[in-house]
Amino acid sequence: MFDFFFQFPVWVQAAIKGLAVILVIFPIAGVCSMAERKVAAWVQDRPGPNRAVVPWIAWIPVIGKFLQRLGVFHVMADGGKMLFKEDSTPGHVNKFYFIAAPLLAMVPALTTVAVVPFGAYFDDAGRTIPLILANLDVGLLAVFAISSLGVYSLILAGWASNSKYPFLGSVRASAQLISYELSMTLSILPVFLWINAPGSTGTLGLVRVVEFQSQSGLVGGAWFCFFMPISAFIFLVCLFAETNRQPFDTIESEADLVGSFHTEYGAFKWGLFFVAEYSHMIVGSGIFMLLFCGGWNPLPWLPLATLVGWLHHISGWAFTVHPLFVGIFSIAIFLGKVLAMIFFFMWIRWTVPRFRYDQVMKIGWRFLLPLSIANLLAYAVAIAFIQK
């Protein structure tokens, strides 16, 4: 049915797939900003944005009203405002780097998606074919390498703004992101020590991690967050710090830094920073889900293949084992888990107050880093004994 797609040259296929993924990520990042306002409102016992509505949708009896109350049209209103506002560039900035910074923020944020698998289907032989833009062996290493480039955009923005608060903010950003990258990388090493058992071909790919969590049996089906809760915890905390989220958003703390690195930005350039930040969050949540929460497997000890088998068994419909259905089904599961994770990000944001900058440094260097090293050593010894 879709054979024509595979007739295209490889680069056309890659471009189409890449565009499709970006076309999903970009709106989700936009909607996240709306969800943030809405979750904030609910936590604070108020209804939140609920006025904007498109006339012909308002005419639909119940659904129109529901969508309006949910505030979905405020996304368009916000986006429209951001697009059509005057995009001013202050006179005292370094124009080239000032304009380059938001673009540089977008590039790594959207590039990392390429090596993140977001679903899978099974071919006739029963093998798992992951849905991924580039199934590289370096996998996670590529994610870390590219996403850490994001800090350059913050530094450039702060420096090019040529004013003191953006500059302070960017100095903080560089220090914070570099500090937490250490513990983040160390915390996931036990996972890869475990899946790269002696005798198997080594890989840092995320597909392999999910395959490991999709096996049968009590041990095989368990997600890594059960085996390695400390790793998962450290990774999660570092994820909050790396994505500048509360309680680690000292980089943007408006109380002491005005707006930090985006103080001098407005309109569309400012919007790009935010879409980049939410894209980082989406990719980060995705990686957390892949590493520690079973990727596209719906529940621990219930891999996707089993669930699809049950569906086929109960309903008897042939399409439930069609690769297209399985692929979309797995993407839906994975996306659902990622969105749940993003909700958790927001939930934490409205619960925990912001750490002071020295506390952030203290937690990073004097708590998380020793903990992640100890964790790595403990698991290295244990895995050496188990796998001989």
Under rule CB under 8 A, residue 67 binds another protein? no
**Between 41 and 222, CB nearer to another protein:** 41
Residue 58, SS3 per DSSP: helix
Contacting range for another protein; rule: CB under 8 A; set: 43-51, 184-192, 254-262, 372-380: 43-51
Residue 47, interface with another protein (CB under 8 A)? yes
Q: How far is the CB of 47 from another protein (least distance, A)?
A: 5
248 close to 241: Cβ distance less than 8 angstroms: yes
**Nearest distance in Å: CB 235, another protein:** 15
Does the footprint of another protein cover residue 39 (CB under 8 A)?
A: yes
| Residue 66 CB neighbours (<10 A) | 11
Distance CA 143, CA 54 (A): 39
- DSSP class of residue 137 equals S
User: Which of these, 176, 181, 178, 179, lies nearest to 248 by C-alpha position?
Assistant: 176
Cα–Cα distance, 115 to 295 (Å, whole number): 14
**Residue 197 touching another protein (CB under 8 A):** no
Q: How far is the CB of 247 from another protein (least distance, A)?
A: 9
Round to whole Å and give the CA distance between 104 and 89: 17
| Choice from 22, 43, 302, 328 touching another protein (CB under 8 A) | 43
Site string for another protein, 153-192 (x = CB under 8 A): ----------------------------------------
CB of 92 to another protein, least distance (A): 40
DSSP H or E stretch at residue 120? strand 119-122
> Which string of x and - marks every residue 330-369 that binds another protein (by CB under 8 A)?
-----------------xx-xxx-----------------
Return the half-sphere exposure (C-beta side, CA atoms, 13 A cut-off) of residue 367: 12
The answer to the question of residue 200 lying near another protein (CB under 8 A) is no
Tell me whether the omega of the peptide bond preceding residue 190 falls within 30 degrees of 0, making it cis.
Answer: no
# binding residues, another protein (CB under 8 A): 14
Q: Which is nearer to another protein, 50 or 214 (CB)?
A: 50
CB under 8 Å to 342, separation ≥6 — which residues? 32, 35, 281, 282, 285
Q: Does 44 bind another protein (CB under 8 A)?
A: yes
**SS3 assignment, position 130:** strand
Question: If binding is defined by CB under 8 A, does position 46 make contact with another protein?
Answer: yes
Q: 364: which DSSP letter?
A: I
Using rule CB under 8 A, residue 52 touches another protein: no
Which residues in this chain contact another protein in the complex, by CB under 8 A? Answer: 39, 41-47, 50, 347-348, 350-352
